[in-house]
Amino acid sequence: MNLPDGLLDAGWATMAWVLFVPLALSAARRAPWRVLNEPARLNAFLAMIVALIVLWHLQAGVKPGLSLHLLGATVFTLCFGWALAFIGLCLVLVGVGLNGFAGWQAFAANALLLAGVGVAASHALHRLVDRWLPRHLFVFIFGKGFFASALTVLAVGIASCLLLALAGTYDSAYLLAEYLPFFVLLGFSEAWLSGMVATLLAVYRPELLADFDDAQLLGRK
């Protein structure tokens, strides 16, 4: 997470940009920008970006590129859908980069790992919950908020380890033994935070959630 410049060679960095640019354009084209015309939704969008910039600064690591921090992709996806969540997390990465906590040459790689994998995993898990589990408030909170966020962090950890191993940056055995297990612990922290936020929003501000059907989940007409 938060790969610094120079950690990946030019080939991998170029490949990351080739993948990132069309994905970013697709997200910008599909994003429901109209929801940001509502002052409450716009304020929530900007507040979430600022909050995640702060959280991403609170990171721990012992080697370049092997850092750990909370992600926030699941809650962002819950509130704004995958497209705006991807764009929002990229803006978070811009803020982190301006403060020197992430490299600009590695921006595309970081965006694909943190925003791309994070939002894709969250979106896929949310769709699985919709398809296989009953429509209920507690299913929403624990399925989409708690468990989805933990699994999303683990997915980002696996993708990060896979990239670093394939690029030859670190030995795969070292990553599996000394880096990946910490994502399991980080997943619990992410799950508690995301579950708490999802609960508060579902109960008090359901209008800020993109896929929260108030009538179905709370039985209101």
Asked whether the predicted pLDDT for residue 124 surpasses 80, the reply is: yes
pLDDT at 217: 60
Asked whether the predicted pLDDT for residue 43 surpasses 60, the reply is: yes
Residue 1 lies in a domain: no
pLDDT at 221: 43
pLDDT at 193: 93
* Residue 191 token pair: 């799950």
Q: Please tell me the distance from the alpha carbon of residue 126 to that of residue 33, in angstroms, as a whole number.
A: 21
Asked whether the predicted pLDDT for residue 92 surpasses 90, the reply is: yes
Residue 22 lies in a domain: yes
What's the mean per-residue pLDDT of the chain? 91
pLDDT (mean) for 153-180: 94
Residue 2 lies in a domain: no
Residue 120 lies in a domain: yes
Asked whether the predicted pLDDT for residue 1 surpasses 80, the reply is: no
| Whether this model's pTM surpasses 0.95 | no
Asked whether the predicted pLDDT for residue 174 surpasses 70, the reply is: yes
Contacts of 116 (CB under 8 A, 6+ apart): 20, 23, 86
Task: Render the burial of 28-51: b for 16+ CB within 10 Å, e for the rest.
Answer: eeebeeebbeeeebeebbeebbee
CA nearest neighbour of 63 among 214, 181, 164: 164
Task: List, in sequence order, every residue forming a beta bridge with 150; answer none if it has no partner.
Answer: none
* CATH code assigned at 198: 1.10.1760.20
Residue 116 lies in a domain: yes
N- to C-terminal Cα separation, the chain = 44
Residue 71 lies in a domain: yes
> Which 8-state DSSP code applies to residue 213?
-
pLDDT digits over 185-220, tens only?
999 999 999 999 999 998 888 889 887 665 456 555
The answer to whether 156 touches 1, Cβ cutoff 8 Å, is yes
pLDDT at 215: 45
pLDDT (mean) for 172-180: 93
Task: List, in sequence order, every residue forming a beta bridge with 68; answer none if it has no partner.
Answer: 60
Alpha-carbon torsion, ordered 100, 72, 36, 131, to 10 deg: 150
pLDDT at 218: 57
Structural domain count of the chain: 1
Domain ranges, residue 83: 10-218
Q: Please tell me the distance from the alpha carbon of residue 206 to that of residue 219, in angstroms, as a whole number.
A: 13
Q: Band of the pLDDT at 99, cuts 50, 70, 90? A: confident
